Amino acid sequence: MKKILLGFALALGLSGAAMASGSSFPLDKAPNRTNDMAALQNGAKLFVNYCLSCHSAAFMRYNRLRDIGLTDKQIAENLTFPTDKIGDTMKASIDPVQAKEWFGANPPDLTVIARSRAGAGGSGSDYLYTFLRSFYRDTERPTGWNNLVFHNVGMPNPLWQLQGEREPIHAKAESHGVEVEVVKGWETVKPGTMSEAEFNSNVGDLVAYMQWMGEPAQNQRVRLGVWVLLFLAAFTIVAWRLNAAFWKDVK
């Protein structure tokens, strides 16, 4: 029996196997707000205002935002471009040829980005939450920005007006007998329109929205799962007693 359990543990990934996400930067834990309608609505607003000009969410329809408590009227008036219909998917208006020229690559679609960025270091939300808060000024990059999580990223800090400009404080530390540089903290060079706490909370909302958008049915799935398991638990008891009733004849 131990063998079997060990087998399951190994096979099903409790061994902590690394599915490398390509970054070894330690990730901060993103707040879990996929059930918080106000946070999701704020996140959707931030997403439309700050992400959607360059990135599409080509599998996500605007009217699906009803699921996070918005009415069709609110969606049409506040979130869609004037040319969009409510049943359209979220398409960026950027020209792909120009985008490639400006950033070196086409901005990736963001519909399921949160799902794709999960890995050994943390969930996809953790990755996005840390990534979006780790930009710093770098004059050697064509956009003038660099990122600690995604080194030499093509995207400039999309939230710089809100966050302001920051610089990482490096410190020396010893790791496995070798001296390495680690990031100890941040120093604000130019403040943004939000305080650090405000900014973190807003990024938390934005990331919660992106997590939700990756799988809009995710909370419905969990709620339904509870009922399914309750039914199966009751059914298992019935099946167990039925089995015993038949098998009492077998001597």
Q: Which chain residues interact with another protein by CB under 8 A?
A: 3, 6-7, 10-15, 17-22, 58-61, 64, 108-109, 111-113, 115-119, 124, 214-217, 221-222, 224-226, 228-229, 232-233, 235-236, 239-240, 242-244, 246-248, 250-251
Query: Given the complex with another protein, which of 55 and 166 has the nearer CB atom?
Result: 55
Query: Given the complex with another protein, which of 35 and 236 has the nearer CB atom?
Result: 236
Q: What's the closest the beta carbon of residue 136 comes to another protein, in angstroms?
A: 24
Q: What's the closest the beta carbon of residue 111 comes to another protein, in angstroms?
A: 7
Give the whole-angstrom CA distance, residue 238 versus residue 202: 50
Query: Given the complex with another protein, which of 15 and 53 has the nearer CB atom?
Result: 15
- Dump the DSSP string for the chain: -HHHHHHHHHHTTTT------S--SPPPPPP--TT-HHHHHHHHHHIIIIITTT--EEEEEGGGGGGGT--HHHIIIIIS-TT--TTSEE---S-HHHHHHHHSSPPPP-TTHHHHT-BTTB-HHHHHHHHHT-EEE-TTSTTSEEESSSTT-SS--TTHHHHEEEEEEEEEEEETTEEEEEEEEEEEEEE-SS-HHHHHHHHHHHHHHHHHHH-TTHHHHHHHHHHHHHHHHHHHHHHHHHHHHHHTT--
Query: Given the complex with another protein, which of 61 and 137 has the nearer CB atom?
Result: 61
Which residues are 149's β-sheet partners?
none
Query: Given the complex with another protein, which of 93 and 236 has the nearer CB atom?
Result: 236
Query: Given the complex with another protein, which of 14 and 38 has the nearer CB atom?
Result: 14
At position 22, the amino acid (one-letter code) is G
Cα atoms in the Cβ-side hemisphere of radius 13 Å centred on 158? 20
Q: What's the closest the beta carbon of residue 239 comes to another protein, in angstroms?
A: 4
Q: What's the closest the beta carbon of residue 24 comes to another protein, in angstroms?
A: 12
Q: What's the closest the beta carbon of residue 138 comes to another protein, in angstroms?
A: 24
Query: Given the complex with another protein, which of 26 and 225 has the nearer CB atom?
Result: 225
Q: What's the closest the beta carbon of residue 204 comes to another protein, in angstroms?
A: 21
Q: What's the closest the beta carbon of residue 162 comes to another protein, in angstroms?
A: 28
